[in-house]
Amino acid sequence: MTLWLFFAVVVLLISFALTWVLRRYALARSLMDIPNARSSHSIPTPRGGGVAIVIAFLLATLVAQVAGLIEVSGGWALLGAGGGVAILGFLDDHGHIAARWRLLGHFCAALWALYWLGGLPPVVLFGRILDLGWFGHFVAAFYLVWMLNLYNFMDGIDGIASVEAVTVCLGGCLLYGLSGYATHALLPLLLAMAVLGFLIWNFPPARIFMGDAGSGFLGVVLAILSLQAASVSAQWLWSWIILLGVFVVDATFTLIRRLVRGDKVYEAHRSHAYQYASRQFGKHLPVTLAVLLVNLLWLMPIALLVGIWGLDGALGVILAYAPLVVLAMKYKAGALER
């Protein structure tokens, strides 16, 4: 355990230092996110800091794999899919890539991950164990791609995507530790530390933004970690989906409402609930802190009830998501922007 803590601190320091380097580089090269009509910020800010998360975590994953601390299959799933999505996002950050090519790349990354993970494990639905076979692999591919893209959509105000990743990962660590499977906590712990090193620079008011390379990477990696958890216990997939509830509900509710209205959903917008809330409060900090509190005080306890104490996973999701849907409606998620 002492070795794990040392490992985690090293990852945090690498991420922190790399973010500083990337910020200096962005300032020197004028790689700035300039505010426009679709922005939630008001001053030019360096972008691309999420590359620090990518490098720190993938290096840590490679070391852990070589040292025999994690399974080879899980390591290759993360290295290939995560690295590929990050490269695609980096290229898009520095020169626009058409949506259809990005989507093709996302599905390729999903198929790579599913190949190494062995597809979607059996799931528990209202007490029944379901092995969905090839249909399950199809569902899992869309799940990975949706998680990747919704994380990108939700990275719109200072600190929110970083706080989400850290709290979700720490919830996963707690789930494994209390269940007697502490060895599975290494990867989420390392990811939490990689994001925390970046969050020090990204916490409101942000001194650097994550960019598509970082947000897409976090989305696909968190989805892969949830599928890895499901391969150990079918209930744990529900626990991870509960932990990710703030992002899943806001992004999905907004997408559905915009689809029904006939909007071009691939176009940039500011109609997520968290964006309306940040404009209502006049700053980003209250919304980011609210996400932190919801994750720690509401979603994490329910995720533990499902993963450890046997609450049905589907019922747990309904219980956890119901107030989040109410909040999404309260803050006009997907409503037409004026």
pLDDT in tens, 230-281: 999 999 999 999 999 999 999 999 999 999 998 877 777 899 999 999 999 9
Q: Is the pLDDT of residue 194 over 60?
A: yes
**R_g (Cα) of the chain, nearest Å:** 19
Question: Is the pTM above the cut of 0.85?
Answer: yes
Q: Identify the pLDDT of residue 37.
A: 56
Structure tokens at 41: 């910020």
pLDDT in tens, 132-171: 888 999 999 999 999 999 999 999 999 999 999 999 999 9
- Residues 163 and 195: their CA atoms lie apart, in Å, by 8
pLDDT in tens, 287-318: 999 999 999 999 999 999 999 998 999 999 99
Q: Identify the pLDDT of residue 200.
A: 97
Q: Kind of pairing, strands 128-130 and 32-33?
A: unpaired
Of 260 and 38, the structure prediction assigns the larger pLDDT to 260
pLDDT in tens, 70-97: 999 999 999 999 999 999 999 988 777 8
Q: Where are the alpha helices (DSSP H) in the chain?
A: 2-28, 50-66, 72-77, 83-94, 99-117, 133-154, 160-179, 186-202, 211-232, 234-243, 245-261, 273-281, 285-294, 300-307, 313-330
Amino acid of residue 181: Y
